[in-house]
Structures are given as structure tokens and as C-alpha cells.
Amino acid sequence: MTVDEITEAFVRESRDILGDDLVGVYLHGSAAMGCFNEKKSDIDLLVVSERELSDDVKLRYMDMVVGLNDKAPPKGIEMSIVRRAVCRPFVYPTPFELHFSVAHLDWYRANPTDYIEKMKGVDKDLAAHITITLQRGRRLYGKEISEVFEPVKREYYLDSIWDDVADAEDAVSENPVYVILNLCRVLAYGQEDLILSKREGGEWGLANLPGEYRGLIASALNAYSSDAAFERSDGLAAKFAAYMLDRIRDAQ
């Protein structure tokens, strides 16, 4: 199924399961920002509910999400459900009702009851997801984005995206393309308050970062946007990660 077919089915099933409690369904991430890569991007969805969800509803909802995830592009669906009450006024770290990504697929399939009981708490990432939804997201169903979400304070957004890059020096050797481009977009926000996709972050990095790193960034961009392999240079990548973390700290 295409992204549009997945999101249309997701909205239809969400309306059926949540009924009048469904406030809205919102698309964010690469699919909303014009740089979706079918082999390398997930489908990022944010769902807002009027009330808390019962365990029975959560099980029914997760069965729906997992069924659609099986028909989605390889990276699958990432989605969170939050209550409207934590969106305006915005609560940080943000409580969530339910979360799913492919990283949790095996856990849910092995023990759905355990998953539903334990998949709860707060998620700092939601500050970033809501900020991107406000700035670049798309309403798929329900109330307008600006009506549901309050703007996230800069300090909360910075804390959220810092959490995503804090281990970059270790992670860059395992996932260089994601880490390199993500560092670029985090620094672009820190310095210029820009909300960018990973591709746009890499393009910003090419224009604004020292020349010694441009080949590295260009290789990451090429690998992200195509089937090309990333040209590894672990020593330079580690140096870049350390340099960028210092710059990001300075920009906070």
C-alpha cells in the first residue's frame, strides 16, 4: 500500500475504533515535509483523543496499527496517541496513551497484554513531534492543528531534540546517515530556529558547516535520498559528531 492508502485506512479505522473521542489525526515527519523515501522513511502519525483509552480499546487499536504496518513500506508506522488535555496547555514531558513503532512489533506480537500494560508514561520526543506538526504537519482528520496544539516552548523543544542526538558520538558509527543529517537539523534549529527535515538539515549543513565535513554530509544526503551506499569514514564521522555536539551545546 502507498502512504496515502495507509493514512486513509488509518483515519478510517481510527474513527471506527475511537468514535467521538477522536479529536484528530495528524501526519508529521518526512511524509509531511516532502522528503519521504519509501525504503528509508517511516510514516509518522500523531493521534489526539478526548479521553483516556481503556485497555480493550488499546488492544483493538494496536491490532489495527499492526495490520496496517504489515502493508506499509519497510520502515513501517510510528504513531502516538495523546489526550487533548496535554496538548493545550502543553505538558512536558508529555504523557501518552499509546505508542507504536516497528522497534516494538515483536514485543506486541509476543505478548499483547503485557505491551498494553507497560506501554505508558511520558515521552520527551512528543515535544519535537508536536512542534513539527505545528510548523510542517498535515491534518488528515479532525480539528485544525492550531486549535488542538499549543506552541511548544523553545526550551522544551531543544531538550527534546538534544535527547535524540546526545549519544551521537557512539551512534554515528552504527547509523551514520541518520545521525549526520539529524545533527545538521538540530544545529540549524539551535542557531536559526529552523524546523527542517533530515534532507533539508543536510542541505543546510552543506551551506553552513566547515568544508572538511561537506563530503561526509553530501555522502549522507546521497545515501538518504537514493539507493547509494554511504561512503564510510568512521574517523571523520566521529570527529564531526563531536564537533556538532559542541556547537549544539553552545546554541542552547
DSSP per residue over 4-39, as a string? HHHHHHHHHHHHHHHGGGEEEEEEESHHHHT---TT
Mean pLDDT of 120-128: 96
Contact by Cβ (8 Å): 240, 248: no
Closest CA to 131 of 169, 161, 165, 108: 161
Provide the 3-class DSSP secondary structure of residue 135: helix
- pLDDT at residue 232 in the model: 81
Report which of residues 228 and 83 the model is more confident about: 83
Cα gap 72→195, rounded to integer Å: 26
Characterize 163-188 residue by residue with b for buried, 16 or more Cβ atoms within 10 angstroms of its Cβ, and e for exposed.
ebbeebbebbeeebbbbbbbbbbbbb
34 forms beta bridges with none
Residue 76 has pLDDT above 90, yes or no: yes
- pLDDT at residue 246 in the model: 97
Provide the 3-class DSSP secondary structure of residue 53: coil
Number of Cβ within 10 Å of residue 208's Cβ equals 12
Residue 231 has pLDDT above 90, yes or no: no
Half-sphere exposure of 35 (CA within 13 A, CB side): 18
- pLDDT at residue 227 in the model: 83
Contact by Cβ (8 Å): 179, 117: no
| Angle (deg, nearest 10), helices 176-192 and 198-208 | 70
- pLDDT at residue 37 in the model: 86
Residue 196 DSSP symbol: -
Residue 183 has pLDDT above 90, yes or no: yes
- The percent of residues in the chain predicted with pLDDT above 70, rounded, is 100
Whole-structure pTM value: 0.94
78 burial level (CB within 10 Å; 0-12, 13-18, 19+): buried
Mean pLDDT of 39-50: 95
- The percent of residues in the chain predicted with pLDDT above 90, rounded, is 92
Q: Which domains does the chain have, with CATH numbers?
A: 3-152 (3.30.460), 166-251 (no CATH)
Residue 252 has pLDDT above 90, yes or no: no
- pLDDT at residue 16 in the model: 98
Predicted confidence band of residue 83 (pLDDT cuts 50, 70, 90) = very high
Closest CA to 119 of 149, 81, 175: 81
Residue 183 CA: distances (Å) to CA of 109, 173, 213, 222: 33, 14, 12, 16
Residue 126 has pLDDT above 90, yes or no: yes
Q: Mean pLDDT score of the chain, rounded to an integer?
A: 96
Phi, psi torsion values for 88, nearest 5 degrees: -155, 105
